[in-house]
Structure 1
Amino acid sequence: MRRPIEAAMPPVLPVSAETFREAMSRIAAAVHVVTTDGVAGLAGATMTAVTSVSDAPPTILVCLNRSGRTSAVLQANGVFCVNTLAAGDEALAGVFAGLGGLDPAERFATATWTTGASGAPILVGVRSALDCRVSQVAEVGSHTVIFGEVVAVAVAERRPALLYLDRAYRTLAPAEG
């Protein structure tokens, strides 16, 4: 039997950019550094807008703001890697979110990298890495949705994950077993 709702419903607000962003801040998301390298150069950005699309073929999507440099560079390179961060990687997430104003080479110098099958940089010590080739691109509002076919995967040992919730970093320990 369901319990009656005792608390009042919060007010339903019109959808503005501000209320939409506030609502989205209430959704916990894994933190990633998406990287690319190739003919257009080296680039990377911290993001939470990463989603699985299909396992046949293995495909993911990332959403990048069109006004940022990373979107154009990633599309021109045609490859990218989604590096899923672990607890303790908050400083690196900040660097790739633009804190400190470092140029791309300086950002990458703050960590240790290897090169994936696609040519995209893979963070050493990452929880997991999805190395991709761009398969499709769609423009939606202020963002570019980039679909990538996963060509290689790296999975490290389980350790606490880095999440973003309520505009702050949080950690989540892996389940035992």
Structure 2
Amino acid sequence: MEEAFSKTEFRNAMARVCAPVNVITTNGPAGRGGFTATAMCSVTDEPPTLLVCMNSRSAQTALFLENHRFCVNVLSHDHRELAGKFAGATADMEARYASADWVAMPSGTDALADAIVSFDCELSEARLVGSHHIFIGRIAGIRSRPDGNALLYFDRNYVHVPTQLGSFGG
């Protein structure tokens, strides 16, 4: 079936979708890695599971597959520079990590110390779809802070929308 739109039209349309900016990390026998992603969402809360998409051409793909662990770190608007570094502006992985403070999660993955929330995940499934791997992660731990405004990506730019503190309430 032939699409009625081009790859460029699709990419331009997706640029109009606002998404949270995340740094996805891994650490384990295969080594330490990390990348910036906006393709992350929850899957289910029974069991707590989320998914992340990673370009299969990334040199880090094998690290994530072999370590079977990853941590999703949701960034605040204060992390704009860090997002750029993990997006590839800084090639050296140790230099990327040196630009922020990290906390080891029980699994051994690295959580950004001041992330809005960090999800420690066990890789339960990886599936190649087109140009990307979809990583399904079962949540093994959560670390969060009560404040902060999320860094968002919209129209190929970082943006932030202030939120009301204490919006968890009931």
Shorter-chain TM band:
over 0.9
Q: Answer whether contact 2:147 2:165 (CA < 8 A) is retained.
A: no
Q: Is the 8 A contact 1:64 1:70 kept in 2?
A: no
Question: SS at the partner of 1:138?
Answer: strand
TM-score (norm 1): 0.89
Return the match for 1:30 from 20, 45, 55. 20
Partner of 2:133, secondary structure, is strand
Residues 11-60 of structure 1 deviation map (CA, whole Å, 9 limit, x = unaligned) = xx932221111000000000000000001101000010001001011000
Q: Distance in 2 between matches of 1:52 and 1:24?
A: 19
Superposition pairs for residues 124-143 of structure 1, below 5 Å?
124-143=113-132
> Aligned equivalents of 1:125 and 1:86: distance in 2?
8
Distance (Å, rounded) in 1 between the aligned partners of 2:165 and 2:67 = 40
Partner deviation per Cα, 1:43-91 (whole Å, 9 max, x = no partner): 0000100010010110000000000023221111000000000012110
**Structure 1 CA distance for aligned equivalents of residues 87 and 8 of structure 2:** 20
Give the Å deviation of 1:176: 4.6
Give the letter aligned to residue 38 of structure 2.
Answer: T
Unmatched runs of 5 consecutive residues or more in structure 1: 1-12
Q: Which of these residues, 73, 78, 100, is aligned with residue 68 of structure 2?
A: 78
Partner of 2:36: 46
What's the counterpart of residue 174 of structure 1?
Answer: 163
Whether the aligned pair in 2 keeps the contact of 1:59 and 1:148 (CA below 8 Å) is yes
Partners of 2:91 and 2:54 in 1: how far apart? 19
Larger CA deviation: 70-79 vs 142-151: 70-79
Distance 2:12 2:4 in 1: 12
Q: Distance in 2 between matches of 1:120 and 1:16?
A: 39
C-alpha distance after superposition, 1:90-117 (max 9, x if no partner):
1000000011x33111111111101112
> Highest CA radius of gyration, 1 or 2?
1
Give me the CA root mean square deviation. 1.2
1:145 aligns with 2:134: yes
User: When the two structures are aligned, how many residues end up with a matched partner?
Assistant: 164
1:120 to 2:109 alignment: yes
Report the Cα distance in structure 2 between the residues aligned to 1:141 and 1:161, rounded to whole angstroms.
29
Identity of aligned residues (%): 40
Give yes or no for contact 1:158–1:174 (8 Å, CA) kept in 2: no
Aligned to 2:88: 98
